[in-house]
Amino acid sequence: MKTNFLKRTWLRLVRRPGQTVIHLGLFTVVTTLMLSGLMIQATATKTVESAQRDVGAIVSMAFDIDGYVEKQNIQSEAVGQSGGQLDADATVLNLDDLEALCADSIAMSCNYASETGAFPTNSMQLFDPSGKPVDDGDLSAALFQVEGVRNLEGVSAFRNGDARIIDGVGLSPESGDQEIVIDKRLAEQNALAVGDSVQLFVGQLARDGGMLDDTPHEFTIAGIYESGLPDAPPGSPPVMQPANQIYASLGAVGVLLGADGDAVKQATFTLADPDDVKLLGEKAAEVGIDTDVFPLILNDKQYRQLVGPIEQTAAFATVIVWASLAAGCIILGLVVTSSLRSRRREVGVLLSLGESKPRVLGQQFLELVTCAVVSVAIAVGVGQLVAPVIGSVFLSSQVAAAQSGPSQAEQDYGDINGGATQVERVDPIDELSISLDPAAIGLVGGAAVGITAVSIALPGIRLARQHPRDILTTGV
């Protein structure tokens, strides 16, 4: 009977070519779409993971007045006291704590800043577009903006290419305690070069409006940068002139900050994975940083711009896979049911001759599995041609939609200035190198067998309840 069972299956496939072609065609369409979807999905996932490692995500840490007040209120209620004044030390980050956190392997890179001002001396006067000496009658505006940074490349202007070092070197964790970097226009107007020494006063005012400290501090010009920012309009206070922006090492700005030299106002960390923000918060708590007062703010806008369209493509591929699976079960189920109805005489005779119902259904299953196996082989060849086309068309439409969307200025949390600057816009990934994944072939093959089993099971339940005579007279 086993030989007859296999022989009947083969004869049915050969002598009923029309029905065989229908089954084979349906399976080929379903498996090709499923394989194409899985190939697109797998490639998109790998591309996103690669982009995630390359771009990372920027996390900002800075003082949050709301978090501080809320915590103070909770503590005051616990001891039955009213909230007190804002403690200045509570608004800044400790440099040693940040260095310990930065040393952790979870952060790809880190940067932090302290801001202050500095009054000019004869060795370096304030820049003025007209070239005339600046009237320093109002000391509150007649000063340099000094920004202490751990790494100059972490400043958004340098990271985005809007500013660049044209002579000397930038600032890094290895920079000395007296190193500064100045604008090209400021250097030219004061006839300064890399390696020159200049003096600056602490940019803090006394109560009488004069300088708080008239002791000059000496600094060394480590580098000169060129900025794309134009000069401020005539009449603007010197502090508003972009050329009067000085970048200093943390040690140098610490000299200008006096006792607060080890205090940092804002820090940024670049993570390999945006999901590591929670882990970074745990590490911050371990080194003594209160993340309720200094919350971590994730800025993954650049990452989302880069991988947004490809993630949409992966989601579309997932829809293709599930839709193909569902459609395959429904359509093949209807086809098998119709096939059994047309074969009621054959089924009834076989059962009358003593053939078991499981073997009759097994013949049907074997016929469909044979078609499924052949269709998977066809899909392997066709899918490698179809998948790149489907993926490319949909990805192109998503990229076009992303690029045509409005570009809104928003806070760049990667900027240690904390200013509301335009986040660097990056071009999204617009190409997929789709390749055949052996695992996808196995999944499609398994899905094809599963579709066959589901398609056979529904009419098989009805067949199991009927007698051969009923099948011959009324049908399956």
Q: 224 to each of 130, 159, 169, 179, 381, how far by Cα in Å? A: 21, 16, 8, 11, 59
The percentage of residues in the chain with a pLDDT greater than 70, rounded to a whole number, is: 71
Q: What distance in Å separates the CA atoms of residue 14 and residue 7, rounded to the nearest whole number?
A: 11
Mean pLDDT, rounded, for 300-305: 67
Q: What distance in Å separates the CA atoms of residue 383 and residue 42, rounded to the nearest whole number?
A: 14
Q: What is the amino acid identity at position 402?
A: A
Lowest-pLDDT choice from 79-93, 110-124, 389-403 = 79-93
Contact between 237 and 258 under an 8 Å Cβ cutoff? The reply is no
**Would you state the pLDDT for residue 414?**
44
**Would you state the pLDDT for residue 1?**
46
At residue 124, does pLDDT exceed 90? yes
**Would you state the pLDDT for residue 191?**
93
**Would you state the pLDDT for residue 417?**
46
> Across all residues in the chain, what is the average pLDDT?
77
Mean pLDDT, rounded, for 323-350: 73
Q: ∠ at Cα 227 (224, 233), nearest 5°? A: 120
Q: What distance in Å separates the CA atoms of residue 301 and residue 414, rounded to the nearest whole number?
A: 11
At residue 345, does pLDDT exceed 70? no
Q: What is the pLDDT of residues 206-250, one digit of tens each?
A: 776 677 778 899 999 999 999 988 998 887 888 889 999 999 988
- Please name every residue paired with 57 in a beta bridge, in sequence order, or none if there are none: 271
Residues in contact with 144: Cβ distance below 8 Å, sequence separation at least 6, in sequence order: 117, 118, 119, 120, 126, 200, 203, 238, 239, 244, 245, 246
The percentage of residues in the chain with a pLDDT greater than 90, rounded to a whole number, is: 12
Q: What distance in Å separates the CA atoms of residue 306 and residue 56, rounded to the nearest whole number?
A: 11
15: number of CA atoms within 13 Å, CB side? 6
Tokens of 357: 């119902």
Q: What distance in Å separates the CA atoms of residue 463 and residue 465, rounded to the nearest whole number?
A: 5
What's the pTM value of the predicted model, to 2 decimals?
0.56
**Would you state the pLDDT for residue 200?**
92
**Would you state the pLDDT for residue 107?**
78
**Would you state the pLDDT for residue 288?**
85
At residue 74, does pLDDT exceed 70? no
Q: Among candidates 456, 67, 3, which has minimal Cα distance to 295?
A: 67
Tokens of 307: 């991988």
Q: What is the pLDDT of residues 163-208, one digit of tens each?
A: 999 999 999 888 888 899 999 999 999 999 999 999 999 887 777 6
Phi and psi based region of residue 39 (left: phi greater than 0; alpha: psi -120 to 50; beta: remaining):
alpha
Pairing label, strands 197-202, 144-149: unpaired
Q: What is the pLDDT of residues 349-366, one digit of tens each?
A: 676 666 776 777 777 778
Tokens of 112: 């932090």
Q: Among candidates 157, 156, 172, 198, which has minimal Cα distance to 250?
A: 172
Lowest-pLDDT choice from 18-27, 35-44, 132-141, 231-240 = 132-141
Q: Among candidates 273, 437, 257, 336, which has minimal Cα distance to 19?
A: 336
pLDDT-derived band at 340 (thresholds 50, 70, 90) equals low
* SS3 annotation, the chain: CHHHHHHHHHHHHHHCHHHHHHHHHHHHHHHHHHHHHHHHHHHHHHHHHHHHHHHCEEEEEECCHHHHHHHHHHHHHHHCCCCCCCCHHHHCEEHHHHHHHHCCCCEEEEEEEEEEEEECECCECCCCCCCCCCCCCCCCCCCEEEEEECCHHHCHHHHCCCEEEEEECCCCCCCCCCEEEEEHHHHHHCCCCCCCEEEEEECCECCCCCECCCCCEEEEEEEEEEECCCCCCCCCCHHHCHHHEEEECHHHHHHHHHHHCCEECEEEEEECCHHHHHHHHHHHHHCCCCCCCCCEEEECHHHHHHHHHHHHHHHHHHHHHHHHHHHHHHHHHHHHHHHHHHCHHHHHHHHHCCCCHHHHHHHHHHHHHHHHHHHHHHHHHHHHHHHHHHHHHHHHHHHHHHHHCCCCCCCCCCCCCCCCCCCCCCCCCCCCCCCCCHHHHHHHHHHHHHHHHHHHHHHHHHHHCCCHHHHHHHCC
At residue 136, does pLDDT exceed 60? no
Contact between 215 and 201 under an 8 Å Cβ cutoff? The reply is yes
Place of tokens 């090492």: 249
Contact between 180 and 249 under an 8 Å Cβ cutoff? The reply is yes
- Please name every residue paired with 269 in a beta bridge, in sequence order, or none if there are none: 59, 110
